[in-house]
Structure 1
């Protein structure tokens, strides 16, 4: 089974943290480096879009009841990747806008993001449903052969609560973002920033840890060992 959810989680975490930082600069009225942010969003968005679409249409996670991961990981990654690519294109095409007064550029950016906020909210709704699904069906338990995570595999509710909580925090940020733009309540954007900072940090650390735990799992399988840490 060839999977790459390590890179997906790592990039999603970086993307969430990056967009949270970008949004914080917008609402604080700071000058935006449009070319720099366009480059960042293009890199993160392209990776997530490509890997998310591949996961969605090929279902590389297979066997042992793990097929749900193709839906829970692949489809949100594809959607988030597309949104980041949109942000990259917008910022690159409107470079001259950001050379002018910061207040004008920032207000124009939020206005331009309002239509796509509908999809952000829709993706947030999907993430909220996935969060409930993780907990309801106690999904996500690591096999015993996987280091660190596998030590808690006999308690599936623990990882289900962790994944459900993580998806839920990101969903909250997405819903707040959409509501803030469509109800003209910009004060809610600060809470969206905090939700994505928390979710992005956890995603980033979780993805980094998985480079270790997944390689350790394959090592244990290949060599018949049971390294727990």
Structure 2
């Protein structure tokens, strides 16, 4: 197989890494907030904004231009581009809300910006209400991720071409990679669907643990898979250049 790479773009490498890091950051922020050890809020704002910007930029470009259609995978532009765009915008919105809330605490309530515990206590009270409206769109996109997972199994998507190192070894067994990626999407989506249910004063401990577990597993896999793809995608390009 020969591909004219000058006419397309494949960057779901950084998409995958940014998605995984963002999921793990959400879990870490929740854990630190519960222990009142969040530190300076501005550092979390930047932490969420960086993957948010990357995902919004790459997701918007992929959703609007369909670069993967040029190498025969138009469905991947929907599968990767649109969920990434949605997640990126949600992260940027969350970063903005955190920044504004911190500003309000310091300016209007005269809290010292260095008083981490007082700010953490206020955030514990205010954050569920702030995130609730965002969580509904996130839950809807979670259902979309589950639908993508079902489509992946039904149509045996996600199989890498033989020219791609490592992943290409399974090219003759498309259901293997289809099952793996579809399950990854499904568990991420299930966590998003359940997320609005834990944004209340006393959420069920089992429900909180379920969301944490789903996103922990998904976050680690997204990061590891994205890192691996920096090698495999470079290899694919080398093996298919004109």
Of residues 165, 185, 193, the one that matches 1:167 is: 185
User: Tell me, what secondary structure is at the counterpart of 1:138?
Assistant: coil
User: Within 1, Cα distance between the matches of 2:133 and 2:227?
Assistant: 34
Q: Which residue matches 1:19?
A: 26
Is 1:200 the equivalent of 2:207? no
Q: What TM-score comes out, normalization by structure 1 length?
A: 0.90
Q: Which residue matches 1:118?
A: 136
CA shift, 1:16, in A, is 1.0
- Encode CA deviations 1:73-124: one digit per residue, 9 max, x unaligned: 0000000000100111111112243743522222211221111111111111
- Encode CA deviations 1:131-186: one digit per residue, 9 max, x unaligned: 11111110011000110000001000001001111001101111111222279635
User: Within 1, Cα distance between the matches of 2:239 and 2:140?
Assistant: 40
**Structure 1 168/110 Cα, relative in aligned 2: closer, same or farther at 3 Å?**
same
5+ residue gaps, structure 1: 224-229
5+ residue gaps, structure 2: 1-7, 106-112
Of residues 60, 73, 85, the one that matches 1:66 is: 73
CA shift, 1:67, in A, is 0.8
User: Tell me, what secondary structure is at the counterpart of 2:158?
Assistant: coil
Of residues 145, 155, 158, the one that matches 2:173 is: 155
Tell me how many residue pairs correspond in the alignment. 223
Of residues 212, 217, 220, the one that matches 2:231 is: 212
User: Is the Cα contact below 8 Å between 2:128 and 2:200 reproduced in 1?
Assistant: no
CA shift, 1:50, in A, is 0.9
User: Within 1, Cα distance between the matches of 2:123 and 2:199?
Assistant: 16
Q: What TM-score comes out, normalization by structure 2 length?
A: 0.86
CA shift, 1:44, in A, is 0.7
User: Tell me, what secondary structure is at the counterpart of 2:165?
Assistant: coil
Computing the radius of gyration over CA atoms, which structure comes out larger, 1 or 2? Answer: 2
User: Within 1, Cα distance between the matches of 2:54 and 2:203?
Assistant: 32
User: Tell me, what secondary structure is at the counterpart of 2:199?
Assistant: helix
Is 1:142 the equivalent of 2:142? no
CA shift, 1:218, in A, is 1.3
